[in-house]
Amino acid sequence: MRALAVAAVALAGFFFSLTPLAERADGALLDHAWRTLRKFDTRPAPDDIVIVGIDEATIRAIPEPPSLWHAALGAALAKLAGARPRAIALAFPLPERSYDSVKPGLDRALFDGLATAVESTTFVAALSIDARTRTAKTIHTPYLALLGESRLGLDLTARDADGVARRFTLLIPTEDGGFPTLQGRLCRALGKDCSEGLIHYALGRPFTYVPLHKLLAMEDPAVVQRIFRDRIVLVGEAQAFHDRVDVPLNLAGWESDAAHSPSVVVHAQTLRTALAQAAPREASRPLVVLLVSLAALVFLVRDPRMAAVTALLAAAGAAVACLLALHASTYLPAAAMLLTVGLALLARLGFAWRSRRTA
């Protein structure tokens, strides 16, 4: 009888692990684990990524609307290229058509900046996806001809069912085989063997940040070189209410702590994780089944008080074990184990109550 009860509790826990509710609970527990590791045990990483952000101050500083920032972006790319960074990634959509009819010379101003960046260093531009059609947006033909497919990466951020960015991929499947994401294209361009999987949110310090308008105002080449030389530079939006992504924690050191982050920061942490091959491995299904089965053994403790103490210790042990495993780069989903411990305790208390009633 007891063996059947243990098996029933274990099966309930296993089937729960397959449900969307378990996925959401595991995501929330993983977020707490990242915040704990970030607070007490940040893993060091090279400080080699700089973010150039398009924030509210930049929008106020540049008189033209963002759709006409050809000259500003071109000048920024040329200035960055002159500092000899390791790579530049433009995570800001390129124009879909010519704007010379609005102001002659705009197309040329951006083309010259792009050409300088392409000739000077590794350069990758984001290929944006239309939210309505789910297809890649077009890029003005001269820019596309200059960059070619080898310098384009899909501007996509993977999100779990609850909308939080916890995982990443370097290659999006297509009918022709696959197309790299922005991070995947950077890895290829830099000749690195990158890994994919979970974004490591306890890796490295918050990113160095330079607003775009401040970059444009820098007149001393030595200052620009000191900030950007031999680093990977990501250029993208950093506004408080636009192009944001829900995250376990925000690594934008220039912002107050929040549950969402500029997408360019998520790109940067994804790239940092990929380059360091630091994506935690996810535990295999057989291991999850084994741990759930062990959690069900709480039912075998016959004394109700001891069963409650055992359940409490088992839940705490599971939480600590998952945290230590994540520190060691292995992700153990904890929700099914914790639920199974709770079910085993409830079943034991129910049997004890029934025994007293029938005694």
* Chain segment 237-256, per-residue pLDDT in tens: 999 888 899 999 999 988 87
Q: Are residues 23 and 55 in the same domain?
A: no
Instruction: Assess contact for 234 and 266: CB atoms under 8 A.
Output: no
First vs last C-alpha separation in the chain: 18
Q: Is residue 189 part of a domain?
A: yes
Q: Are residues 241 and 290 in the same domain?
A: no
Q: Is residue 239 part of a domain?
A: yes
Q: Are residues 223 and 261 in the same domain?
A: yes
Instruction: Assess contact for 202 and 42: CB atoms under 8 A.
Output: yes
- Which of 257, 275, 293 delimits the end of a domain? 275
- Rounded Cα distance between 181 and 169, Å, is 7
Q: Are residues 208 and 298 in the same domain?
A: no
Q: Are residues 88 and 142 in the same domain?
A: yes
- Rounded Cα distance between 33 and 22, Å, is 16
Instruction: Assess contact for 100 and 137: CB atoms under 8 A.
Output: no
Please determine, for residue 16, whether its predicted confidence score (pLDDT) is greater than 60.
yes
Please determine, for residue 162, whether its predicted confidence score (pLDDT) is greater than 90.
yes
Q: Are residues 23 and 132 in the same domain?
A: no
Take residue 238 and report the two structure tokens written for it: 């950093």
- Rounded Cα distance between 72 and 106, Å, is 10
Please determine, for residue 359, whether its predicted confidence score (pLDDT) is greater than 60.
no
Note the pLDDT of residue 1: 64
Q: Is residue 359 part of a domain?
A: no
Render pLDDT for 196-243 as a digit per residue (tens, 0 to 9).
999 999 999 999 999 999 999 999 999 999 999 999 999 999 998 888
- Rounded Cα distance between 33 and 264, Å, is 23
Instruction: Count up the domains in the chain and report the number.
Output: 2
- Rounded Cα distance between 342 and 336, Å, is 10
Q: Are residues 209 and 315 in the same domain?
A: no
Longest dimension (CA), the chain: 94
Q: Is residue 300 part of a domain?
A: yes
Smallest Cα–Cα separation from 246: which of 164, 147, 325, 141? 164
Question: Structural domain of residue 348, as residue ranges?
Answer: 2-39+281-354
Q: Are residues 342 and 235 in the same domain?
A: no
- Which of 251, 275, 299 delimits the end of a domain? 275
Instruction: Assess contact for 85 and 208: CB atoms under 8 A.
Output: no
User: Rounded mean pLDDT of 3-9?
Assistant: 85
DSSP classification of residue 44:
P
Give the number of other CB atoms < 10 A from CB of residue 51.
26
Q: Which residues pair with 153 in a beta bridge?
A: 126
Instruction: Assess contact for 121 and 86: CB atoms under 8 A.
Output: yes
- Rounded Cα distance between 316 and 190, Å, is 43
Note the pLDDT of residue 256: 74
Q: Is residue 78 part of a domain?
A: yes
Q: pTM for the full model?
A: 0.92
Please determine, for residue 126, whether its predicted confidence score (pLDDT) is greater than 70.
yes
Q: Are residues 260 and 331 in the same domain?
A: no
Q: Are residues 204 and 329 in the same domain?
A: no
Helix (H) or strand (E) holding 123: strand 122-127
Q: Are residues 19 and 125 in the same domain?
A: no
Note the pLDDT of residue 353: 76
- Which of 214, 246, 275 delimits the end of a domain? 275
How many residues are given for the chain?
A: 359
Note the pLDDT of residue 2: 75
Q: Which residues pair with 52 in a beta bridge?
A: 210, 235
Q: Are residues 174 and 287 in the same domain?
A: no
Q: Is residue 259 part of a domain?
A: yes
